[in-house]
Amino acid sequence: MHEVALAQSIVEIVREQARRDHVRSVKAVHLRIGALANVEPEALSFGFDAAAKGTLVEGAALAIERTPGAAFCGACGKDVAVESRLDLCPSCGSAQLLITGGEELRVTELEVT
Amino acid sequence: MCGTCGCGDEAAVHVEGDGEHVHVQADGTVVRHRHDPIADDQHEHLLPDGRVVRHSHPGGREPHLAHGVFTGHEHPAEHHHGLSDSEVRRIAVEQDVMARNDRAADLNRTRFAVEGCFVLNLMSGPGAGKTTLLVRTLDALKGRGKKLAVIEGDQQTSLDADRIRATGVPAVQVNTGKGCHLDAEMVMRALAKLPPPTGGQLYIENVGNLVCPAGFDLGEAKRAVVVSVTEGEDKPLKYPDMFAKADVVLVNKVDLVQALGFDLATLKANVRRVNPKAEVLDVSARTGEGFDRWIAWLDAAATQLASPAAAARVEATAG
Ligand SMILES: Nc1nc2c(ncn2[C@@H]2O[C@H](COP(=O)(O)OP(=O)(O)O)[C@@H](O)[C@H]2O)c(=O)[nH]1
Ligand SMILES: [Mg+2]
Ligand SMILES: [Zn+2]
């Protein structure tokens, strides 16, 4: 459940931004979570609600955008889509994949009043 | 809540023997402080001049102005200033959630480089044998005049640190409470108690968990993952993130392979599948089997770090 710690970091980032922008209340927090980020969105939502309690982030909706996993295949030289770290190259079957995308966990945008 | 840094009670991590803790602020400044336990009916305000006031009054923690100054205290969601929902505005943030940990990890890494200290982050599921392995490793290394130190991560107890200290090597225990992993800030705090030995080696035993520690860079030079033969051959496939980031995978308790009918070849094939680069070593922390190769791997890793090319690389990334 490292999602609890991640949710706390997210709430901290949002509060910091809210302080700078004189925000009254946060309606929604937009996140981008890669398919390979090792984050469970449900666990994150749960942790987020708990971490937001008693702050101006309380009650904010979490809007999660999932981004696909991507890799470069050293064998066939193609950029390919992958769903997990265990995938083989969908084009040539090689295991020589370098993960190039889908590991991110970012706060992208806030909706505030 | 702590008024200086906004850390919640849950975030309070305790290094044994001290209520002090360290925060790395957004700009990289390190703030070290301690706070007294806050009573349930008390709360804190951070004043514009940086002072923190703590008090209690009827209305509890409801948002309010403190001492006639608006303190940046937060409004609850239902609080309105004549703005309707149609006036919702959007703010672009684009912040990496791990950025703070990564900044702390960079500070640690720079400190280790300056001290010329080799650092290993030792991870595994619960009971795979990290502490036993560490004790035997320290016993093998300490006769050689190397300066050694250990940071022990555990949710509750300080038993593991006691086991380490029994070898004569200094250790500091970090209790993570509900936290299921060590993060770079906790390590920074621990280093304030037990500095990285100059020209020596620091071993960090992470919390027993194959998921959470994987995502948290501590500033270490190398990552070791221990998997024991009592756990099943499919562990690497179930926890690919952990195994994918390992520099070395130690297959422990090989003294039990026969008795358990464990399939070492399948386990290794599964490690290879998620991580073709990691060194895989069979060991028994109980009998000492395989320790020659393990110690040799550590020597090579520590020497590599001390090479001028590696030092230059560290300098380049730190600059
Ligand atoms: N048979 C056998 N038991 C081991 C070995 N290494 C550790 N153990 C046992 O496994 C249990 C857990 O070990 P410990 O070092 O506390 O694991 P940790 O939780 O990963 O630190 C203890 O009972 C150890 O004695 C080994 O190589 N062989
Ligand atoms: Mg242990
Ligand atoms: Zn391919």
pLDDT in tens, A75-113: 888 999 999 988 999 999 998 888 889 999 999 999 999
pLDDT value at position B309?
55
pLDDT value at position B99?
87
- Which backbone phi and psi does B251 adopt, to 5 degrees? -90, 105
DSSP state of B37: P
Domain boundaries, chain B: 103-318
Question: Mean pLDDT in chain A?
Answer: 93
pLDDT value at position B85?
53
Q: Say which CATH number the domain at A22 has.
A: 3.30.2320.50
Q: Which residues line ligand 1 (CB under 6 A)?
A: B 124, 126-132, 208, 252-253, 255-256, 284-286
Distance CA B175, CA B172 (A): 10
Q: Which domain holds residue A7?
A: 2-68+102-112
Distance A4 CA to ligand 3 centre (A): 37
pTM of the model: 0.73
pLDDT in tens, A21-49: 999 999 999 999 999 999 988 999 999 99
Residue B197: count of CB within 10 angstroms of its CB: 18
pLDDT value at position B5?
30
Least CB–CB distance from A111: residue in B81, B88, B179: B88
With beta carbons less than 8 A apart as the criterion, state whether A51 and A10 touch.
yes
Domain presence at residue A89: no
**B181–A17 CB contact, under 8 Å:** no
With beta carbons less than 8 A apart as the criterion, state whether A94 and A88 touch.
yes
Domain presence at residue A80: no
With beta carbons less than 8 A apart as the criterion, state whether B196 and B112 touch.
yes
Domain presence at residue A79: no
Distance CA A23, CA A81 (A): 39
What's the token pair of residue B78? 């239902």
Least CB–CB distance from B89: residue in A54, A56, A112: A112
Using CA atoms, how far residue B306 sits from A113, B34, B139, B195, in Å, is 53, 36, 22, 18
Is any Cβ of chain A less than 8 angstroms from the Cβ of B91? yes
Is any Cβ of chain A less than 8 angstroms from the Cβ of B10? yes
What is the position in ligand 1's atom list of the atom closest to the CA of B132?
Answer: 15
From A84, which residue of chain B is nearest by alpha-carbon distance?
B240
With beta carbons less than 8 A apart as the criterion, state whether B54 and B38 touch.
yes
Domain presence at residue A93: no
**Crossing angle for the helix pair B308-318 and B99-115, to the nearest 10 degrees:** 140
**B101–A9 CB contact, under 8 Å:** yes
pLDDT value at position B105?
94
Total domains present in chain A: 1
Which residues, at least 6 apart from B249, have a Cβ–Cβ distance to it below 8 Å? B224, B225, B226, B227, B236, B243, B271, B275, B278, B279, B280, B281
**B91–A107 CB contact, under 8 Å:** no
Per residue of chain B (319 residues), give pLDDT as tens.
223 233 333 334 556 544 444 444 444 444 444 444 444 444 444 434 444 445 454 444 444 333 333 334 444 443 444 445 568 899 999 899 988 899 889 999 999 999 999 999 999 999 999 999 999 999 999 988 889 999 999 888 889 999 999 999 999 999 988 788 999 989 998 998 999 999 999 999 999 999 999 999 999 999 999 999 999 999 999 999 999 999 999 999 999 999 999 999 999 999 999 999 999 999 999 999 999 999 999 999 998 876 555 555 555 555 4
Is any Cβ of chain A less than 8 angstroms from the Cβ of B71? no
Domain presence at residue A16: yes
**B212–A1 CB contact, under 8 Å:** yes
Q: Provide, as residue numbers in chain B, all residues whose Cβ is less than 8 Å from the Cβ of A108.
A: 92-94
Which residue's C-alpha comes closest to atom 2 of ligand 1? B253
Question: Considering only residues 229 to 248 of chain B, which have any Cβ-Cβ distance to chain A shorter than 8 Å?
Answer: 237, 240-241, 244
Mutate-to-test residue for ligand 1 from B123, B124, B132, highest number of ligand atoms within 8 A of CB: B132
> What's the topology of domain B103-318?
Rossmann fold (3.40.50)
pLDDT in tens, A10-21: 999 999 999 999
